[in-house]
Each structure stands twice: as structure tokens, then as C-alpha cells.
Structure 1
Amino acid sequence: MVGQSGQQTGQKSGQKSDQKSGAGTKIAFIGLGRMGLPMAVNLLKAGFDVTGYDRATEAGVAFAAKGGRSAASARAAANGADIVITMLPTSAIVAACLIGEENALADVALGALVIDMSSSVPADTLKLAEALTARGLSLVDAPVSGGVGKAIDGTLAIMVGGEAGDAARAEPVLKAMGERIFRAGKLGAGHVIKVLNNYVSAAGALAAVEALIVGREFGLDEGVITDILNASTGRNNTTENKVKKFILSGAFNSGFDLALMSKDIGIAAGLAGDLGLDMKLLARTSQEWTAATDELPAGADHTEIYRYVDGGSRRG
């Protein structure tokens, strides 16, 4: 892995190796959700010795069906592991799992590496690092982007923050799950760029669905609007990958919860505030996604922001 901030390592598209390079490395993977399960399976395919854990029993059963071992607790999964990976909803849950009530790291040997691949609060990441350092453990933050599809085929983009030596140690593990590995900078940098990325994505999604609704009300076909945007400068991730597949189809099942998107934008807004920055669009985007989370049913997919904006336009 390259040590310079912002550079990337990893194989080019279509060159992902099938060579099993993980023999002898014991990994605990905590968090076998929609993203975590396929990521853990790809570690198995790379030859790593993986024990998984998830509070949802069915997730552990699904991992076992793919050839992995499923532990009864986070602590049992991490017992004797060289590397402990977390893929959990929030940094508070990560801390509770690792050093709090679940105490997953109680039986982990000195020198073990923790890789937090969750979307966490950067300040919480730094606090966790202090606690781990006191235990003789190291931490790298390595959140991901690309969604469930890229988690399945092992082509995620992974943003890494941490000391150069720790990042280099994590590299073979990350390459089993991602195609583009970026060295973002110091510890916490991965989590910072992750929430900034999701903010930009969320702002683009709001703009896209507003454009669809305005055009529709004028009498335009939303599919045609999407085609024109995608052939023009207005295209973005939502117009290219989500509008037709998940929004206009009525499926609303991209696999990423609206509440999680809202959480990440809120973290980005909080970071801006902590830095003394008045970012008006960021603040407004956070407000809109928070309001959508409050209004829509629990578990709503983030593509359902369309429903929120559509309803609001009629209320407003």
C-alpha cells in the first residue's frame, strides 16, 4: 500500500486474483449483515481462516452455509484472532462490542490488529484507538463504498486511515474484499472521507429526485428525463444506477437504509461544525434526510427519498 495520502493500491478492474493468499491468518469478522456477509465470504475465498459473529442468529447460519465458522458471541469469534474486523451500524455499537459490554477483545493477543470497516464517527475512532493502544492493539479505519453488489463480487472501494505499518498489514485482507484501496491519511481519515462521500451522494440524490418530480409535473416522462441526464452533465450515481432500477421500478430495495445515509450525513455535518465551518448545503441536506428518516417507516431504503420529496412537494 502506498503511504502517500490520497493514493491507491490494488489490482485494476478485471485483474482480481483468485490466488489464496490468506493461509495462516486468523480473522474474526463481526457484523454479518447485507454488506458484512459477502465481505466475510470473500475472505474465506482468499484462504483466510475466518470466524464470524452477528447478533442475528440467521446471519451466522448463512455464514456457516458458505463454509465459515459462526461463533456464539463476539468474544468467542475474536478469541485468538490475528485480525478483528467490525462491520457494524454505528461507532457506539463498535465500541460496545469491542471494549464495552460484549468485550470482544478480552482474549485477543497483544499485537493484534483491529480493522473498523463500519461507517463511524471519526472522533469516536480516535477514542477507540486510545483504548486499544493501552491494550497493546492497533487500529485501522477502512470503511467501504459500492453497495451490496460490489461487496458480493469483491470490488468495493475501501478508504483507509491509520499508521503506515498498520495499513500495510491490513492491505492483503482488504484486497480480498475490494478492488480499489485508497490510503486516505492518518487514523480517522477513512471515516471522514466515507461520510463526505455519502454527503455528496445524498445531495446528488436529492437534486435528481427533485428534477424528476418537476419534469414529471410538467408532463415529461421520468425515464426520458433520466436518459437525458445520463447523457448530459447532470448525471450522477443516483441517475446512473438507482433511478430506473430502484425508484421508477417501485422496487426501493437497493440494500442501503435511509436511516444509515442520514446518519452519515449527520456525521459529516457535525464534523464541519467541529471545524468551525458553516456549510449551508451540507446542513440543509442533513436536515432533509433526517426529516425523511423521521417521516418514512423504519427500515426504509435510501432510494425512498423520492417518496419523501414527492410527498413534501405536494404538502408544501
Structure 2
Amino acid sequence: MSEPALKERVGFAGLGLMGQGMARNILKKGWPLTVLAHRSRTAVEALVAEGATEAKTARALAEASDVVVLCVTGSPEVSALVEGPDGLAATGKPIVIIDCSTSDPSQTLRLAESLRERGITLIDAPLSRTPKDAAAGTLDVMVGGDDAVVARVLPILEAFAGRVMPTGPTGTGHTMKLLNNFLAMGYAALYAEALALGAKAGLTPKVFDSVIRGGRMDGPFYQTFMTYVLERDRNAHQFALRNALKDMSYLAGFASAASFANPMGAAVRNSFALAVGAGRGEDYVPMLSDIVAEMNGVSLVPKG
């Protein structure tokens, strides 16, 4: 797709595992970029050294930008950045906010309506894939919003995305993201339980993998999960168990609001609730396999 001759000024808040790669691609591909520090200054300082500008507050970020990308943990963090006393909305400037976080769809709709009254447009553009894909510019992006607004920001999204998939009006991107994560976390819970049950019966993860890999139940998510199990690579899939529980809790709330019975979703959520309740919330998703194994008196760690 052809890019506009005059590139809009982009703001970015949420320079975590995903956000720093996304922001770097926006900058590398020619957009004037302003960034906001949150938990760590490392990514901010690196981006400033590469040509970005730093804003000290969310309000200043909005004042310096035409479009602001958010990539934070979830709805509470988005609301704080947007509606806080020195937040993005404090300027009253007609910016476009792109929420790439995994947020609660009901809160996305509430916030979009509130911002619309102040001339600010919110669209949801949650992500799929890994920090490695964020750095490579090959993320999957599900985007919900008005067609004209999506068309306007599409070149920015394409700076860090391999695929951009419109899902419908605002809120549908976050809904689709929850369903996507439900499938992913459901597989993670299944893999963890199957591996532990296999170990209980004397089947090692290596034997388990020799059967699954290359068959119909193989796939990219399985392979990154098993990279940790087999190779003990902590960074194979950098998504914290506490965030998995947060997403499955959003799914439970969404199902409840729709008066929808979701027993599978409840079971998946409980798998992660057990792990987080055991104090393992900062571990990554593939490590659920070790937690389930330990609870059942077995180990998946290769001997020797």
C-alpha cells in the first residue's frame, strides 16, 4: 500500500517486550516518533539515541502526536494513560488512539464512547505472535474501528505487522484477540497436562515430541512451547502466566456479560489461576508444564 507523502507524528506508550520492537519499526520506517517511559528507561533511551523524542507525561505525548499507539498490559493501564489527570485526553486534541493492548472489549467500548464526545478516536488493534515478530515487523494485528480511520492508520500498523486483519467496528479487535488467546492458552493447558500425565506413565517429553511433531497436532505455538520443555529456553515464549490469567479472566467476564456458558474457558482459566496462586505469575506460559508436573509429583527436566 502506498504511504502518505507527509507522515503523521506518532506517539508510543508501552515499550515492553512487544512495544519496543514495534516502536523501533515505526521509527525505522520514517515516522516522527515520540515515546513515553513507563516501567523501564532502557528501551526509551535506546530509541531516543536512534532519533525518537521523549515525552515526560501522557498529555505531552498527545500534544506531540497525531496518532498514539498504546501497548500496555490491559484496560486499567489504558484507562490510566488516557483518562488520568495528565493523560492523553487532557489536551482535548483530536488525536487517534490505537490500543494494541489485550483489553476488555466492554471497557474499550466505554472508553471509545467517552472519547468520541471529546473529538478523540479510539480503535483497537491487539496483537498476535511474539516479541521476535515485533522486532522483525511481522506481527498479526486484529483491528476494530471505522473503515476510514483504519485506512488512515494502516501504514503505521504495517510498519510492525506482517498481517493486518480488519474485524469490524471498535471493540471487535479486542474480542477476537480474547478468542485467539483462549485457543492459545487452551493449547498450553492441554500440553502441560498431557506432558505431566505422560511423565507419570514413563513417557519423556522427548518421546512425546517425537510423536506430535510433524503430525496433525503440530504447529508454531506447539513448537515454541516445546522449545522451552525440551531445551529449557526460558525466552522461547515470553508471555507471563499472570497475563494469561488476566486474558482468561477478561474472557470469563465477556462470556458472563453475554449470558454464555463457557466451561472450557473456565477450565483453562483455572489452570492459570492455580499457577499464579502458587506464586509463579512471572514465569512464562510454557513453564506451566513444570508447574503441573510438580503438582503431580513428576519432573519434565531431562535427567543428567
Normalization by structure 1: what TM-score? 0.88
Kept in 2: contact 1:23–1:48 (CA 8 A): no
Partner Cα separation in structure 2 for residue 22 and residue 155 of structure 1: 24
2:279 alignment counterpart: 296
- 2:45 equivalent among 38, 48, 61: 61
| Alpha-carbon contact 1:43-1:50 (below 8 Å) kept | yes
Q: How many residues align?
A: 296
1:106 aligns with 2:121: no
Counterpart in the other structure of 1:194: 177
How far the C-alpha of 1:221 sits from its partner, in A, is 3.0
Consecutive unaligned residues of structure 2, counting only runs of 5 or more, are 299-304
Three-state SS of the structure 1 residue aligned to 2:17 is: coil
Return the offset for 1:236.
4.1
How far, CA to CA, are the matches of 1:248 and 1:98 in structure 2? 42
Percent of aligned positions that are identical: 30
Which residue, 165, 179, 184 being the options, matches 2:162?
179
Q: What amino acid is aligned across from residue 239 of structure 2 in structure 1? A: F
Using the TM superposition, give the Cα deviation of residue 298 of structure 1 relative to its aligned residue in structure 2, in angstroms. 4.3
Q: Deviations over 1:180-230 (max 9, x none)?
A: 110111110110111111111111111112222222332233123113212
**SS state of the match for residue 134, structure 2?**
helix
CA deviations on 1:59-109 (whole Å, 9 max, x unpaired) are 321322333222222222221311011111111111111122331232363
Match of residue 49 from structure 1: 32
**Greater alpha carbon shift after TM alignment, 228-237 vs 158-167:** 228-237
Unaligned 5+ segments in structure 1 are 1-9, 11-18
| Counterpart among 80, 97, 102 of residue 64 in structure 2 | 80
CA contact (8 A) 1:26 1:81 kept: yes
**Of residues 3, 20, 37 in structure 2, which corresponds to 1:37?**
20
Within 5 Å, which residues of 2 pair with 1:1-316?
23-55=6-38, 56-107=40-91, 109-110=93-94, 112-243=95-226, 245-253=227-235, 254-314=237-297
CA 1:287 to 1:104, structure 2 compared with 1: closer, same or farther past 3 Å?
same
Report the Cα offset of residue 237 of structure 1.
Answer: 4.1
RMSD: 1.9
Quickly say closer, same or farther: Cα 1:255–1:313, change in 2 above 3 A.
Answer: same
Q: Post-superposition shift, 1:37? A: 0.7
Confirm or deny: 8 A CA contact 1:79 1:105 kept in the other structure. Answer: no
Q: Which amino acid aligns with 1:58?
A: T
Q: Distance in 1 between matches of 2:230 and 2:290?
A: 11
